Amino acid sequence: MIQEGRAIGGVHLIKAEQAPLLARPYYASGDPGPIVAALAHVPELLEVAMPFLGAALGPSWISARAKELVILRTSARLACRFCVQTHTVAARDTGLALDEVRALRGELPLEDAFDDPHELALLDWVDTVALGPGPVPDSARAAVRVWFGDAELVELTLLVGATVLLNRFCTALDLPTSPQVLARLAQEGLA
């Protein structure tokens, strides 16, 4: 939801009537959300960032469940309020159980909600990559390679990185969570 004239850490979210020419397609179906409304300030970045983010975070040959595990876990480790709230709903819509969501958000031990070693290895990899900094230990690479081939590892690692980018962007600019998401979180006891 784009709020009228709201300044977010000095950044106003651009409304439909002020959408730059390159940004207009993103407003064609209604409210494009605060990430687009912020990026619209720099249209030439918006028009390359959104296809990239869509490819990285959107549907692909990797399962939607695996992608939501990565996105929500990364967002929780980076303490991004906007992304955690938004992707809690997305994770639930993807079919993740309440306890799985709570565990990804750090409210339960992962092992209390997950028992698939493949997913636990992925979540260990997410924690290692997202939290950095510095070199990733060979042991972490070896552990994840048991379960994932090169292509999966590349895409999932890029997904962690893209999520970190969004986490810091949304946190730094204090992007507002939509009222619909907040209502859904309250409804599911996940606020």
Partner 1 sequence: MTATIARAVAEGVLPGRVWFYANYHCNLVCAYCLTESGPKAARRELGRERMLKLAEEARTLGFTALGVTGGEPFLLPYLPELLVELAGILPIVCLSNGTMFTRDRLVRLQPLADLPAAIQLSLDRPEPDTNDAMRGPENFRKVVETIPRLVGQGVRVRIATTVTSMAAGEQERLCELHRRLGVADDDHVIRPIVHRGRAVDHGLGVDAGPADLPAELTITTDGAFWSPFGPTVHGGRLDTDLLLTRTTDPLSTPAGVLLRLVEGRPQGADTQLNIR
Q: Site size for partner 1, by CB under 8 A? A: 13
C-beta of residue 106 within 8 angstroms of C-beta of residue 79: no
13 binding partner 1? (CB under 8 A): no
Q: How far is the CB of 39 from partner 1 (least distance, A)?
A: 11
Q: Out of 2, 13, 14, 80, which residue is the one contacting partner 1 (CB under 8 A)?
A: 14
Which tokens is 63 given? 């399962």
Nearer to partner 1, 9 or 95 (CB): 9
Interface with partner 1 in residues 43-62 (CB under 8 A): 43-44
Owner of token pair 């507002």 = 176
Cα–Cα distances in Å, from 39 out to 48, 49, 106, 120, 133? 10, 8, 30, 34, 27
Q: Distance (Å, rounded) from C-alpha 172 to C-alpha 163?
A: 14
Cα dihedral 147, 149, 154, 156 sign: negative
Work out whether 40 is an interface residue with partner 1 (CB under 8 A).
yes
Binding status of residue 7 toward partner 1 by CB under 8 A: no
Closer by beta carbon to partner 1, 19 or else 123: 19
Map residue 132 onto helix, strand or coil: coil
22 touches partner 1 (CB under 8 A): yes
8 is a site residue for partner 1 (CB under 8 A): no
Considering the complex, what minimum distance in angstroms separates the CB of residue 5 from partner 1? 9
18 binds partner 1 (CB under 8 A): yes
C-alpha closest to that of 105 among 125, 124, 120, 85: 85
